[in-house]
Amino acid sequence: IYMIGCELVGGFLRTHMEKSSTESLNSPGAVYKKLCVADLADDRSNCPKENVYGWTAKLGLLAIGLEAEEMKVKYKDYIKAGCGSI
């Protein structure tokens, strides 16, 4: 899942027809399928998939930020900005 700032912009899902749900997909035959925000805005169940992927990405970024803060990581040219209601 890719984000620019606080905005979900898309990503990829990796699949492999010859692997089970517990096997590594890091092998020949893996297929990447694009994950576009426009494709996720399907609201048939009043719960767009964009919310699921978006919150997953935001939680991941939050975890990275917390780990970086704990490790006192310094980012060159980093500009701290708010992300609204994330």
pLDDT tens-place string over residues 3-58 = 887 777 888 888 899 999 899 988 899 999 887 766 655 555 666 666 777 788 88
- The domain ranges of the chain are 2-70
pLDDT tens-place string over residues 10-19 = 888 888 999 9
Q: What is the pTM (predicted TM-score) of this model? A: 0.55
Query: 59, 72, 75: which is closest to 3 by C-alpha?
Result: 59
Is residue 71 very low, low, confident or very high in pLDDT (cuts 50, 70, 90)?
very high
The token pair that represents 4 in the structure block: 């620019």
CA-to-CA dists, residue 33 to 13, 14, 16, 53, angstroms: 5, 6, 11, 14
Cβ neighbours of residue 9 closer than 8 Å, sequence gap 6 or more: 2, 3, 37
Query: How does DSSP classify residue 10?
Result: E
**Distance in angstroms (rounded) separating the CA atoms of residues 86 and 70:** 21
